[in-house]
Amino acid sequence: MEKSKYKRDWSKYDENVITRYKLMFPFYVFEHWWDLLAEENRNARTKYKAPKEFNEFLAFLHIFLPYRAIEGVLRALEQLKIIPTSLDYSTIWERVRNMNITFPETSDELEVIADATGISTNTGGQYIVAKWGKTRDSKFLKIEIVMDNNEFNVINAEVTSNEVESAVKTVKDLQDKGKKVKKFYEDKTYDANEVYKTGVEVVVPPKKNASTKRHLARRKAVREFRKLGYDRWREEKGYGVRWRVESLFSAVKRTFGESVRQVLLGK
Protein backbone atom coordinates (compact mmCIF):
# COMPACT_ATOMS: atom_id res chain seq x y z
CA MET A 1 0.00 0.00 0.00
CA GLU A 2 1.41 3.36 -1.04
CA LYS A 3 2.24 5.67 1.82
CA SER A 4 0.28 8.90 1.87
CA LYS A 5 2.24 12.00 0.91
CA TYR A 6 0.12 14.14 3.20
CA LYS A 7 1.92 15.29 6.33
CA ARG A 8 -0.12 16.81 9.10
CA ASP A 9 1.29 19.85 10.85
CA TRP A 10 0.76 18.53 14.37
CA SER A 11 1.74 21.79 16.03
CA LYS A 12 -0.93 23.66 14.08
CA TYR A 13 -3.48 20.87 14.58
CA ASP A 14 -2.91 20.79 18.35
CA GLU A 15 -3.28 24.56 18.56
CA ASN A 16 -6.57 24.40 16.64
CA VAL A 17 -7.93 21.81 19.08
CA ILE A 18 -6.89 23.97 22.04
CA THR A 19 -8.55 27.02 20.50
CA ARG A 20 -11.73 25.06 19.76
CA TYR A 21 -12.24 24.15 23.41
CA LYS A 22 -11.21 27.59 24.58
CA LEU A 23 -13.99 29.10 22.47
CA MET A 24 -16.49 26.40 23.44
CA PHE A 25 -16.64 27.46 27.08
CA PRO A 26 -18.41 30.82 27.70
CA PHE A 27 -15.51 32.21 29.73
CA TYR A 28 -16.35 35.75 28.59
CA VAL A 29 -19.10 35.87 31.21
CA PHE A 30 -16.51 35.88 34.01
CA GLU A 31 -14.62 38.80 32.48
CA HIS A 32 -17.74 40.90 31.83
CA TRP A 33 -19.85 39.70 34.75
CA TRP A 34 -20.77 43.09 36.22
CA ASP A 35 -21.51 44.75 32.87
CA LEU A 36 -23.75 41.86 31.80
CA LEU A 37 -25.48 41.80 35.18
CA ALA A 38 -26.10 45.55 35.14
CA GLU A 39 -27.70 45.27 31.70
CA GLU A 40 -29.96 42.43 32.83
CA ASN A 41 -31.05 44.21 36.01
CA ARG A 42 -31.67 47.55 34.29
CA ASN A 43 -35.43 47.10 33.91
CA ALA A 44 -35.91 43.95 35.97
CA ARG A 45 -38.42 43.88 38.81
CA THR A 46 -36.38 41.25 40.62
CA LYS A 47 -32.65 41.80 40.85
CA TYR A 48 -30.65 38.85 39.58
CA LYS A 49 -27.47 37.53 41.20
CA ALA A 50 -25.92 36.31 37.95
CA PRO A 51 -26.31 37.38 34.29
CA LYS A 52 -28.35 35.20 31.93
CA GLU A 53 -25.21 34.51 29.90
CA PHE A 54 -24.01 32.45 32.88
CA ASN A 55 -26.78 29.96 32.06
CA GLU A 56 -24.72 28.71 29.10
CA PHE A 57 -21.92 27.76 31.48
CA LEU A 58 -24.38 26.01 33.80
CA ALA A 59 -25.96 24.09 30.93
CA PHE A 60 -22.56 22.97 29.70
CA LEU A 61 -21.65 21.70 33.17
CA HIS A 62 -24.96 19.84 33.35
CA ILE A 63 -23.97 17.72 30.37
CA PHE A 64 -21.54 16.01 32.73
CA LEU A 65 -22.72 16.85 36.26
CA PRO A 66 -26.00 16.71 38.23
CA TYR A 67 -27.33 19.92 39.73
CA ARG A 68 -26.06 19.21 43.25
CA ALA A 69 -22.56 18.74 41.89
CA ILE A 70 -22.82 22.01 39.96
CA GLU A 71 -23.81 23.77 43.17
CA GLY A 72 -20.60 22.47 44.74
CA VAL A 73 -18.54 23.66 41.76
CA LEU A 74 -20.04 27.15 42.02
CA ARG A 75 -19.27 27.34 45.73
CA ALA A 76 -15.65 26.47 44.97
CA LEU A 77 -15.50 29.10 42.21
CA GLU A 78 -16.90 31.68 44.64
CA GLN A 79 -14.29 30.79 47.26
CA LEU A 80 -11.57 31.17 44.63
CA LYS A 81 -13.11 34.57 43.76
CA ILE A 82 -13.62 33.54 40.13
CA ILE A 83 -17.31 34.41 40.43
CA PRO A 84 -18.72 36.91 42.96
CA THR A 85 -21.57 34.66 44.11
CA SER A 86 -22.70 31.06 43.89
CA LEU A 87 -26.22 29.84 43.13
CA ASP A 88 -28.36 27.33 44.99
CA TYR A 89 -29.86 24.13 43.59
CA SER A 90 -33.27 25.61 42.77
CA THR A 91 -31.82 28.59 40.93
CA ILE A 92 -29.47 26.42 38.87
CA TRP A 93 -32.32 24.05 37.99
CA GLU A 94 -34.62 26.91 36.99
CA ARG A 95 -31.99 28.63 34.86
CA VAL A 96 -30.96 25.52 32.93
CA ARG A 97 -34.48 24.19 32.49
CA ASN A 98 -35.85 27.49 31.16
CA MET A 99 -32.97 28.47 28.90
CA ASN A 100 -34.13 30.30 25.80
CA ILE A 101 -32.01 28.95 22.96
CA THR A 102 -31.87 31.29 19.98
CA PHE A 103 -29.95 31.35 16.72
CA PRO A 104 -28.23 34.39 15.17
CA GLU A 105 -30.32 36.61 12.92
CA THR A 106 -29.71 35.87 9.25
CA SER A 107 -28.93 38.36 6.50
CA ASP A 108 -31.64 39.45 4.06
CA GLU A 109 -30.20 37.28 1.29
CA LEU A 110 -28.62 33.93 2.00
CA GLU A 111 -27.77 30.46 0.80
CA VAL A 112 -28.53 27.59 3.15
CA ILE A 113 -27.13 24.09 3.63
CA ALA A 114 -29.12 21.29 5.25
CA ASP A 115 -28.05 17.89 6.49
CA ALA A 116 -29.08 15.33 9.08
CA THR A 117 -27.21 12.76 11.12
CA GLY A 118 -28.07 9.95 13.49
CA ILE A 119 -27.12 9.98 17.17
CA SER A 120 -27.29 6.68 19.03
CA THR A 121 -29.49 6.54 22.13
CA ASN A 122 -27.60 3.67 23.73
CA THR A 123 -23.97 3.02 24.60
CA GLY A 124 -23.91 -0.72 25.03
CA GLY A 125 -20.22 -1.05 24.32
CA GLN A 126 -18.27 -3.58 22.30
CA TYR A 127 -19.39 -6.56 24.40
CA ILE A 128 -23.08 -5.92 23.69
CA VAL A 129 -22.37 -5.43 19.99
CA ALA A 130 -20.31 -8.61 19.82
CA LYS A 131 -22.87 -10.68 21.71
CA TRP A 132 -26.14 -9.39 20.31
CA GLY A 133 -25.18 -7.64 17.09
CA LYS A 134 -25.37 -4.00 16.08
CA THR A 135 -29.07 -4.01 15.28
CA ARG A 136 -30.36 -5.31 18.60
CA ASP A 137 -32.23 -2.50 20.36
CA SER A 138 -30.38 0.02 18.20
CA LYS A 139 -32.20 3.34 18.31
CA PHE A 140 -31.17 6.68 16.90
CA LEU A 141 -32.23 10.29 17.11
CA LYS A 142 -32.13 12.08 13.78
CA ILE A 143 -30.68 15.58 14.17
CA GLU A 144 -31.03 18.09 11.35
CA ILE A 145 -29.05 21.30 11.01
CA VAL A 146 -29.72 24.12 8.57
CA MET A 147 -26.75 26.46 8.18
CA ASP A 148 -26.10 29.82 6.52
CA ASN A 149 -23.53 29.16 3.81
CA ASN A 150 -22.15 32.70 3.90
CA GLU A 151 -21.99 33.42 7.63
CA PHE A 152 -21.42 29.80 8.78
CA ASN A 153 -24.14 30.33 11.41
CA VAL A 154 -26.66 27.67 12.39
CA ILE A 155 -30.15 28.81 11.38
CA ASN A 156 -32.05 25.90 12.86
CA ALA A 157 -31.30 22.62 14.63
CA GLU A 158 -33.88 20.09 15.71
CA VAL A 159 -34.69 16.45 16.29
CA THR A 160 -36.85 15.30 13.40
CA SER A 161 -38.43 12.22 11.90
CA ASN A 162 -38.76 13.87 8.49
CA GLU A 163 -35.79 16.01 7.48
CA VAL A 164 -37.41 17.13 4.21
CA GLU A 165 -40.48 18.45 6.00
CA SER A 166 -38.51 20.29 8.68
CA ALA A 167 -36.05 21.77 6.17
CA VAL A 168 -38.88 23.04 3.97
CA LYS A 169 -40.51 24.58 7.04
CA THR A 170 -37.26 26.38 7.89
CA VAL A 171 -37.02 27.82 4.37
CA LYS A 172 -40.65 28.94 4.42
CA ASP A 173 -40.18 30.55 7.84
CA LEU A 174 -37.23 32.52 6.45
CA GLN A 175 -39.29 33.58 3.44
CA ASP A 176 -42.17 34.64 5.69
CA LYS A 177 -39.72 36.90 7.52
CA GLY A 178 -38.86 38.60 4.24
CA LYS A 179 -35.57 36.78 3.74
CA LYS A 180 -34.50 35.82 0.23
CA VAL A 181 -33.17 32.27 0.17
CA LYS A 182 -31.21 32.04 -3.07
CA LYS A 183 -29.87 28.47 -2.90
CA PHE A 184 -30.51 25.34 -0.89
CA TYR A 185 -27.71 22.72 -0.78
CA GLU A 186 -28.72 19.21 0.30
CA ASP A 187 -27.95 15.55 -0.33
CA LYS A 188 -30.12 13.01 -2.19
CA THR A 189 -32.41 12.61 0.80
CA TYR A 190 -33.88 16.02 -0.01
CA ASP A 191 -34.66 15.20 -3.65
CA ALA A 192 -38.39 15.76 -3.24
CA ASN A 193 -41.06 17.89 -4.90
CA GLU A 194 -41.78 19.69 -1.62
CA VAL A 195 -38.27 21.18 -1.67
CA TYR A 196 -38.59 22.47 -5.23
CA LYS A 197 -41.99 23.99 -4.48
CA THR A 198 -40.29 26.55 -2.20
CA GLY A 199 -39.13 28.41 -5.32
CA VAL A 200 -35.50 28.32 -4.18
CA GLU A 201 -32.68 27.18 -6.47
CA VAL A 202 -32.20 23.63 -5.22
CA VAL A 203 -28.73 22.09 -5.44
CA VAL A 204 -29.44 18.41 -4.83
CA PRO A 205 -28.13 15.39 -6.74
CA PRO A 206 -31.26 13.51 -7.86
CA LYS A 207 -31.86 9.90 -6.91
CA LYS A 208 -31.06 7.20 -9.46
CA ASN A 209 -34.73 6.54 -10.10
CA ALA A 210 -35.71 10.23 -10.13
CA SER A 211 -38.74 10.86 -12.31
CA THR A 212 -38.92 13.67 -14.87
CA LYS A 213 -42.71 13.74 -14.86
CA ARG A 214 -43.40 15.72 -11.71
CA HIS A 215 -42.59 19.27 -10.56
CA LEU A 216 -41.28 21.43 -13.42
CA ALA A 217 -38.21 22.70 -11.53
CA ARG A 218 -37.31 19.20 -10.37
CA ARG A 219 -37.81 17.83 -13.87
CA LYS A 220 -35.40 20.44 -15.23
CA ALA A 221 -32.86 19.74 -12.48
CA VAL A 222 -32.90 15.98 -13.12
CA ARG A 223 -32.35 16.44 -16.84
CA GLU A 224 -29.52 18.91 -16.25
CA PHE A 225 -27.81 16.52 -13.83
CA ARG A 226 -28.01 13.62 -16.28
CA LYS A 227 -26.65 15.79 -19.07
CA LEU A 228 -23.67 17.12 -17.12
CA GLY A 229 -22.79 14.06 -15.05
CA TYR A 230 -22.04 14.19 -11.34
CA ASP A 231 -18.49 15.58 -11.44
CA ARG A 232 -19.24 18.48 -13.79
CA TRP A 233 -22.58 19.18 -12.09
CA ARG A 234 -20.88 19.24 -8.69
CA GLU A 235 -18.27 21.73 -9.87
CA GLU A 236 -20.68 24.05 -11.67
CA LYS A 237 -23.21 24.10 -8.84
CA GLY A 238 -20.67 24.50 -6.04
CA TYR A 239 -22.06 21.43 -4.30
CA GLY A 240 -18.84 20.97 -2.34
CA VAL A 241 -19.88 23.64 0.19
CA ARG A 242 -21.80 20.93 2.05
CA TRP A 243 -18.55 20.07 3.82
CA ARG A 244 -19.31 22.92 6.21
CA VAL A 245 -22.32 21.32 7.84
CA GLU A 246 -20.66 17.90 7.70
CA SER A 247 -17.64 19.35 9.49
CA LEU A 248 -19.95 20.75 12.16
CA PHE A 249 -21.46 17.32 12.79
CA SER A 250 -17.98 15.83 12.89
CA ALA A 251 -16.76 18.39 15.43
CA VAL A 252 -19.78 17.81 17.69
CA LYS A 253 -19.37 14.02 17.59
CA ARG A 254 -15.63 14.21 18.23
CA THR A 255 -16.29 16.42 21.24
CA PHE A 256 -19.36 14.81 22.81
CA GLY A 257 -19.35 11.35 21.24
CA GLU A 258 -21.80 9.70 18.85
CA SER A 259 -24.47 8.91 21.41
CA VAL A 260 -26.73 10.83 23.75
CA ARG A 261 -27.40 10.20 27.39
CA GLN A 262 -30.39 10.92 29.56
CA VAL A 263 -30.23 14.08 31.64
CA LEU A 264 -32.92 14.35 34.29
CA LEU A 265 -33.96 17.97 34.74
CA GLY A 266 -34.92 17.41 38.34
CA LYS A 267 -31.65 15.83 39.47
pTM of the model: 0.71
pLDDT at 133: 61
Q: What is the CATH number that goes with domain 109-256?
A: 3.30.420
pLDDT at 248: 85
pLDDT at 32: 92
Domain ranges of the chain: 10-97, 109-256
196-223 pLDDT, tens digit each: 999 999 999 988 887 777 788 888 998 9
User: With helix as H, strand as E and coil as C, how does the chain read?
Assistant: CCCCCCCCCHHHHHHHHHHHHHHHCCCHHHHCHHHHHHHHHCCCCCCCCCCCCHHHHHHHHHCCCCHHHHHHHHHHHHHCCCCCCCCCHHHHHHHHHCCCCCCCCCCCEEEEEEEEEEEECCCCHHHHHHHHCCCCCCCEEEEEEEEECCCCCEEEEEECCCHHHHHHHHHHHHHHCCCEEEEEECCHHHCCHHHHCCCCEEECCCCCCCCCCCCHHHHHHHHHHHHHCHHHHHHHHCHHHHHHHHHHHHHHHHHHCCECCCCCCCC
**How does residue 131 score in pLDDT terms, banded at 50, 70 and 90?**
low
- Please state the rounded mean pLDDT for residues 24-40: 88
